[in-house]
Amino acid sequence: MADGPVAQLLLQRLEGGDGGLDSLELASALGLDHQVVVGAVKSLQALGEVIEAELRSTQRWELTPEGQETAQDGSHEARVFHSLPPEGLVQSELMKLPSGKVGFSKAMSNKWIRVEKNAPGGPRVFRAVDSVQDLVQAKLRLVQEGEAEHLSEKERNELKKRKLLSEMTLKTYWVSKGSAFSTSISKQEAELSPEMISSGSWRDVKFKAYNFSSKGILPEGGHLHPLMKVRTQFRQIFLEMGFTEMPTDNFIESSFWNFDALFQPQQHPARDQHDTFFLKDPAEALDFPMDYVERVKRIHSQGGYGSQGYKYDWKMEEAQKNLLRTHTTAASARALYRLAQKKPFSPAKYFSIDRVFRNETLDATHLAEFHQIEGVVADYGLTLGHLMGILKEFFTKLGITNLRFKPAYNPYTEPSMEVFNYHQGLKKWVEVGNSGVFRPEMLLPMGLPEGISVIAWGLSLERPTMIKYGINNIRELVGHKVNLQMVYDNPLCRLDT
Ligand code: PHE
Confidence band of 187 (pLDDT split at 50, 70, 90): confident
Q: From residue 296, how far is each of 258, 326, 333, 379 by CA, in Å?
A: 13, 20, 12, 22
- pLDDT, residue 288, reads 98
- pLDDT, residue 65, reads 93
- pLDDT, residue 107, reads 94
For the CA of 435, the closest atom of ligand 1 is 10
Average the pLDDT over 317-336 and give the result.
98
Residue 290's contacts (CB-CB under 8 Å, 6 or more residues apart) are none
- pLDDT, residue 494, reads 72
Q: Which of 3, 29, 20 is nearest to 54 (CA)?
A: 20
Report the alpha-carbon angle 366-368-372, nearest 5. 80
Classify strands 165-177 and 322-324 as parallel, antiparallel or unpaired.
Answer: unpaired
Higher pLDDT, 482 or 338: 338
Residue 348's contacts (CB-CB under 8 Å, 6 or more residues apart) are 244, 335, 339, 376, 377, 378, 379
Whole-angstrom Cα distance, residue 283 to residue 285?
Answer: 7
Q: Strand, helix or coil at 81?
A: helix
Q: Which of 434, 254, 442 is nearest to 337 (CA)?
A: 442
Residue 34 pLDDT greater than 80, yes or no? yes
Q: Whose CA is nearest to atom 2 of ligand 1?
A: 458
Confidence band of 496 (pLDDT split at 50, 70, 90): low
- pLDDT, residue 57, reads 87
- pLDDT, residue 2, reads 43
Does the predicted model carry a pTM greater than 0.75? no
Domains of the chain: 76-133 (1.10.10.2330), 227-489 (3.30.930.10)
| Backbone phi, psi, residue 163, to 5° | 60, 35
Residue 100's contacts (CB-CB under 8 Å, 6 or more residues apart) are 80, 94
Residue 67 pLDDT greater than 50, yes or no? yes
Least confident of 71-75, 388-392, 473-477: 473-477
Cα 383 → chain centroid: 44
Q: Which of 84, 94, 83, 79 is nearest to 126 (CA)?
A: 84
Residue 364 pLDDT greater than 90, yes or no? no
| Backbone phi, psi, residue 24, to 5° | -70, -40
ω into residue 219 within 30 of 0, thus cis?
A: no
Whole-angstrom Cα distance, residue 442 to residue 257?
Answer: 11
Whole-angstrom Cα distance, residue 99 to residue 101?
Answer: 6
Ligand 1 and 460: CB distance under 6 A: no
Whole-angstrom Cα distance, residue 462 to residue 433?
Answer: 12
- pLDDT, residue 468, reads 77
Confidence band of 194 (pLDDT split at 50, 70, 90): very high
Ligand 1 and 352: CB distance under 6 A: no
Measured in Å, residue 315 CA sits from the centre of ligand 1 at 25
For the chain, the first-to-last Cα distance in angstroms comes to 60
Length of the chain (residues): 497
Residue 1 pLDDT greater than 60, yes or no? no
Whole-angstrom Cα distance, residue 269 to residue 264?
Answer: 10
Which of 336, 372, 384 for a ligand 1 pocket mutation test, highest count of atoms within 8 Å of Cβ?
Answer: 372
Q: Whose CA is nearest to atom 4 of ligand 1?
A: 327
Average pLDDT, the chain: 91
Ligand 1 and 445: CB distance under 6 A: no
Residue 388 pLDDT greater than 90, yes or no? yes
Ligand 1 and 375: CB distance under 6 A: no
Percentage, residues of the chain above pLDDT 90: 64
Ligand 1 and 456: CB distance under 6 A: yes
Measured in Å, residue 326 CA sits from the centre of ligand 1 at 10
Measured in Å, residue 366 CA sits from the centre of ligand 1 at 17
Which of 374, 387, 439 for a ligand 1 pocket mutation test, highest count of atoms within 8 Å of Cβ?
Answer: 374
Q: What is the pLDDT of residues 396-433, one digit of tens each?
A: 988 888 899 999 999 999 999 999 988 777 788 889 89
Q: Which of 368, 323, 377 is nearest to 462 (CA)?
A: 368
Amino acid identity for residue 85 in this structure:
P
Measured in Å, residue 434 CA sits from the centre of ligand 1 at 6
Long-range CB contact pairs, 339-342, < 8 A, 24+: 339/378, 339/448, 340/443, 340/446, 340/447, 340/448, 341/447
- pLDDT, residue 60, reads 82
Q: Whose CA is nearest to atom 5 of ligand 1?
A: 458
> Cβ(81)–Cβ(112) under 8 Å?
yes
Q: Which of 32, 19, 24, 37 is nearest to 181 (CA)?
A: 19
- pLDDT, residue 3, reads 54
Q: What is the pLDDT of residues 210-251, one digit of tens each?
A: 888 888 888 778 888 999 999 999 999 999 999 999 999 999
Residue 283 pLDDT greater than 90, yes or no? yes
